[in-house]
Chains A and B, each alone.
Chain A
Amino acid sequence: MNKLSNDHKDVEFVNVTKRFGPVVAVDNISLSVEQGAFFSFLGPSGCGKTTSLRLIAGFDQPSEGDVHIGGVPVVGIPPHKRPVNMVFQNYALFPHMNVAENIGYGLRQRSPKPTAAEMNKQIDETLELVQMSGYRNRRIWEMSGGQQQRVALARALINRPTVLLLDEPLAALDRKLRRDMQIELQTLQREVGITFILVTHDQEEALSMSDRICIMREGDIVQSGSPRELYDHPVNRYVADFVGKSNFIAGSISGVNGKSITVKSENGREFIGSPSTGAPTLRGGDHASIAIRPELIAISPSNTSAADMNADVAMNGRVKNQIFLGEHTEYLINAEGIGDVLVLSPKHIESESGGFNPGDTVTIGWKNELALALEDS
């Protein structure tokens, strides 16, 4: 097989399709993961992200196409011969072994088997890496979910795989612990320099940890890019909706003029937005939405003019709900003509205006250049 330019790619998919009977789980996708990257598959359940991960691990084989790991084609090679390790969603720690035995499992399968002293040294080092020193002889069921998670991580990392696969690793942890582990995983990844591939349905998790995210839907890749690219330049409404929060005004395109696209909403009002970088070109008549992020909308007392708000569009509305988040205050506003709009107002603005309460009438507005006109899909 030719190696071409995959020398610095740790994982490559070339036109990979995976079918389970009549169901197409992964539909002709191609992608590559750079060496040392923190890569995420993001999407709702059933989008093919877990199947993609299992194709890398070797638990499933593709129906069509090629998978390369470290530049080597691996289709047909069983999991135990692949240089990858996985952290399972439920950790899959061996209940009949203690922590040290679990972590040393991969080392014991090597031939020649490392000496006991060498294994112990590596187990201790890895336990230290995941901050679990002193837990060597613990039984699995004596530990909390977070501790089990660390052991599962150590069990995979000790083998220094080419790629570490993480299948929804934080899903079972509570919110606070999840945040801590996100930071730790990121630090750990930089420390060990191993390529991490994460599968998650949690956009916040993907955004906060990954260098690159691949958004999937129904077996297809919708968009892949850095978290910032996905957030600032979503290719369509699906991505904008999935990555971060966004307000949408649905309608159809009534005019395209270079960098400004006019979308006529269902009740006839026209809004202007700019096209997203990398998105397919939009044409008059296409179904499209104007997308505007909550933090880009300004909020003022009622009947403030657009000009006074330094906005291009303004409309009146009524505060339906207010959630104080410390740094920000989140308002749900029923705006005239467009329905419910989410607005995120930073603390310093709140201090000036004094904030708003449910029932208050307000004016909201935004600049056209901050809104995106996106394909509905």
Chain B
Amino acid sequence: MVMRFYSIAVYLFLYVPIGIIVLFSFNSGRNASDFRGLSIEWYGKALSNPFVLESLTSSLIIAFSAAFLSSIMGTTAALALQRMRGPMKTMFDGLIYVSIMIPGIVIGIATLVALVTVFDALNPLLAAVWPEGAEPPRLSLGYVSVIAAHTLFTMSLVIVLVRARIAGMDRSLIEASQDLYATPWRTFRQVTLPQIFPAILAGFLLSFTFSFDDFIISFFVAGANTTLPIYVFSSIRRGITPEVNAIGTMVLAVSLTLLISAQLLLRKNDTKKAAKG
């Protein structure tokens, strides 16, 4: 009885603040702490605010690119790890889990330091080798650095998901394909890839969500760019408005949708397998 009361309290503590944000995003009043009735006015305001739209675009580009890159690189890594045996495998497995656990702030600082060092070393070199008269490119923090940092930390998620799927895959399917005259590449394309695709897609969706929601790492390496979480953070300093609540609610809706889709993708495969079994 006490335990039940306790767990209800924990859930309330977790979800009431989120519920309040959602509720107040529909507030028709101006003040964030004074509910005056339902309205979607603030959603309109948020979506017509050029700063919101600009940072939203950045966030979408970054999340999409990072998710795309980490899906490809993560899948490739998972496939390579699958063939590995012995202590190296254990080491790589450990490193993947560690990289998921590393706090965002550490990745942020580390990536920032690394990128700045590389840029400082490369920029004079580029200027030196660039043809006379043309403006040499200057590498600096921006989209590319955020995408790189996000790819780095979301890639481990894809590796873990895809590896689990490969491990659960029936090895004899690959042998059956080889046995039926398919070359190794065709076996990969026609059997392995379709089998692991749901996991890759789930990895993509999770990576997208993580990248889209990330504040800490972006804050360190975004340079002059503003992502949506950074915009929200900076606008909160001017006070919490229903507009911020509306943005938060939209981000929440998108994130939940993607997370649930990823979950369904992973589960659908299991039920299919169970039905077959």
A residues neighboring B (CB under 8 Å): 57-59, 78-81, 84-86, 88-90, 92-96, 105-106, 109-110, 140-141, 155-156, 159
- Note all chain B residues with C-beta closer than 8 A to A89: 172
Interface pairs (22), CB distance under 8 Å: A57-B175, A57-B179, A58-B178, A79-B178, A79-B179, A80-B181, A80-B182, A81-B181, A85-B180, A89-B172, A92-B172, A92-B173, A92-B176, A94-B176, A95-B173, A96-B194, A105-B180, A105-B182, A106-B180, A106-B181, A141-B276, A159-B180
For the complex formed, measure the closest distance between the CB of B98 and the CB atoms of chain A, giving whole angstroms.
31
Kindly state the separation between the CA atoms of A141 and B276 in the bound complex, as whole angstroms: 5
B273 to chain A, nearest CB (A): 8
CA distance A315 to B182 in the complex (A): 65
Q: List, in ascending order, chain B residues with CB within 8 A of A155's CB.
A: 180
Please report whether the interface of chain B is mostly helix, strand, loop or mixed according to DSSP: helix
Between A58, A90, A156, the greatest number of chain B beta carbons within 10 A of the residue's beta carbon is seen for A90
Q: Which of B173, B178, B179, B191 has the most CB of A within 10 A?
A: B179
Q: Contact string, B155-176, partner A, CB cutoff 8 A, digits 1/0?
A: 0000000000000001011011
Contacts across chains A and B counted by CB atoms under 8 Å: 69
Q: Which B residues are in CB contact (< 8 Å) with A80?
A: 178-184, 187
Whether A141 touches B176, Cβ cut-off 8 Å, given contacts A92-B170, A106-B181, is no
For residue B197, which residue of chain A has the nearest CB?
A96
Q: In the complex the two chains form, what is the Cα distance from A45 to B191 in whole Å?
A: 29
Count residues on chain B whose CB falls below 8 Å from chain A CBs.
23
**Which chain B residue shows the least CB distance to A57?**
B179
Chain B positions within 8 Å of A84 at CB level: 179
Tell me if B89 counts as interface (CB < 8 A to partner A): no
Contact assessment for B172 and A88 in the assembled complex, using a CB-CB cutoff below 8 Å: yes
Bound-complex Cα distance A110 to B173 (A) = 19
B180, A88: Cβ atoms closer than 8 Å: no
A109 engages B172 (CB within 8 Å): no
Chain B residues in 8 Å Cβ range of A106 = 180-181
Complex CA–CA separation, A156 to B173 (angstroms): 13
B182 touches A90 (CB 8 A): no
Looking at A84, A85, A88, A92, which has the most chain B CB atoms within 10 Å of its CB?
Answer: A92
Q: How far is the CA of A141 from the CA of B178 in the complex (A)?
A: 22
Tell me whether A109 and B170 are in contact in the complex, defined as CB-CB below 8 angstroms, given that A88-B175, A94-B191, A140-B276 are known contacts: no
Interface centre among A57, A79, A84, A93 (most CB of B within 10 A): A79
Contacting residues, chain A, for B170 (C-beta < 8 A): 90, 92
**Quick one: which of A88, A96, A109, A140 contacts B181, CB cutoff 8 A?**
A109
CB of B272 closer than 8 Å to a CB of A: yes
What chain A residues lie within 8 Å of B184 (beta carbons)? 80
Say yes or no: is B55 at the interface (Cβ < 8 Å to chain A): no
B270 to chain A, nearest CB (A): 12
